[in-house]
Amino acid sequence: MKKPIRRRKSTKGRAHLLGLGLDNDDGHKRITTGEQFTLVGGSEETHGRMTETVVKTMEELKRRDKQLHQVEPQELADIMHKSSPK
C-alpha cells in the first residue's frame, strides 16, 4: 500500500528572524523572543546589540506598514544595517 503524500503547510505570510550570538563566555543563557524573532546567546553587549537592531527593524517595518514576510531579503538587510547600533 502506498503511503499518502504529505504536503508541507503553506508558509506564505509567515517569517521569523533568528539571531545567534556566539561570543558568550560568562555562563549566562540569554534568550529574547518576540512575535517574529528569537535571539539566543551572545555576551551581554552582543545580545543587547542584536536586541536593539531587531526592535528598531520591527519598528521600521511597522512605519512602512509591512510585515516581515512582505519584504525582500535585500530590503530587510538594508533596514537591519541602518537599524544596527554604530
Residue by residue, pLDDT tens for the chain (86 residues) are 666 666 555 556 789 999 999 999 999 999 999 999 999 999 999 999 999 999 999 999 999 999 999 999 999 999 999 999 87
Q: How far is CA 72 from CA 35, 55, 61, 82, 83, in A?
A: 19, 18, 12, 16, 16
Overall pTM > 0.85: no
